[in-house]
A = this chain, B = another copy of it.
Amino acid sequence: MNLPTSFPVTTRSKVRRLPKRGSAERADIYAILDAHFLCHIAYVIDGQPYVTPTGYWRHGDRIYWHGSSASRMLRAQASGLPVCLAVTLLDGLVLARSGFHHSINYRSVMAFGLARRIEDPVEKQEALDAYVERLYPGRNKELRRIEAQELKASTVLGMSIEEASAKVRRGPPVDDEPDYALPVWAGVVPVRQILGAPVADPRLSPGTPWPAHLARYAEGAELDEVMTEMAKGPG
């Protein structure tokens, strides 16, 4: 299937605030979606907005997420509710010479679609396996298989991206020209999400090694780089 290289832009998805930071290019949007696994999903129940953080994974132009069947969010979305999904990577604090020009460096995506529940058990199981593989490639084959009641207790939601936009800010502050002469420290304090040393479960079965399939989760690695590498699939 040949997908267009950019998503449609409507009044809903158009980047209005500082549009030069925006993009509807598929490659830009996928690069950000593939750099993380935690999103915020907004939805409406009886006119009231809600936003919930949740893990997600992408397959083509579809985004999936999951949770218990008991979850209010997933119950409400199962009927095909409009959702807005945001992924935001914080890259730094931007310090300018005036309060007004202080900013944040970030990479973000806002994606719109209709969330629907995956009803077919086979498709549901494949989706849950895909989530484990997305985060821990090669791990599924070491785990015990999912049991029938677990599959039943799980809800998987998916949406096709109808519209999406990426927004990115990088680099130093942009100050008013006369302000550059001020003796005020200006620049960027980078922020990174870093992996710590793995903490084994106190109840780990004795002699169980740190497995090869987790080699990318090395202490000090940057989460977005690990996620991006894994999204490329097996080398």
Residues of A that sit less than 8 Å from B by CB: 12, 16-18, 38, 40-44, 47-53, 55, 67-68, 70-72, 82-86, 88, 90, 92-93, 95, 97-100, 102, 104, 106, 108, 110, 112, 128-129, 131-132, 135-136, 139-140, 142-144, 146-147, 150, 153-154, 172-173, 175, 179-205, 207-211, 214, 217, 223
Chain B residues in 8 Å Cβ range of A180:
203, 205
Distance in angstroms from A203 CB to nearest chain B CB is 5
Q: How far is the CA of A82 from the CA of B106 in the complex (A)?
A: 26
Looking at A18, A44, A82, A217, the one whose CB has the most chain B CB atoms below 10 A away is A44
Distance in angstroms from A200 CB to nearest chain B CB is 4
Q: List 30 A-B contacts (CB under 8 A).
A: A16-B70, A17-B68, A17-B70, A40-B51, A41-B51, A42-B43, A42-B50, A42-B51, A44-B47, A51-B85, A53-B108, A95-B139, A97-B143, A97-B144, A99-B128, A99-B146, A100-B146, A102-B132, A144-B179, A183-B207, A184-B205, A187-B199, A187-B200, A188-B199, A189-B214, A190-B198, A191-B195, A191-B223, A192-B193, A194-B194
Q: How far is the CA of A196 from the CA of B192 in the complex (A)?
A: 7
Distance in angstroms from A137 CB to nearest chain B CB is 13
State whether B223 touches A129 (Cβ < 8 A): no
Q: How far is the CA of A131 from the CA of B193 in the complex (A)?
A: 23
Distance in angstroms from A25 CB to nearest chain B CB is 20
How many copies of the polypeptide does the oligomer hold?
2
User: Which residue of the partner chain B has the closest CB to A190?
Assistant: B196
Q: How far is the CA of A86 from the CA of B183 in the complex (A)?
A: 37
User: Which residue of the partner chain B has the closest CB to A180?
Assistant: B203
State whether B48 touches A84 (Cβ < 8 A): yes
Chain B residues in 8 Å Cβ range of A143:
97-99, 184
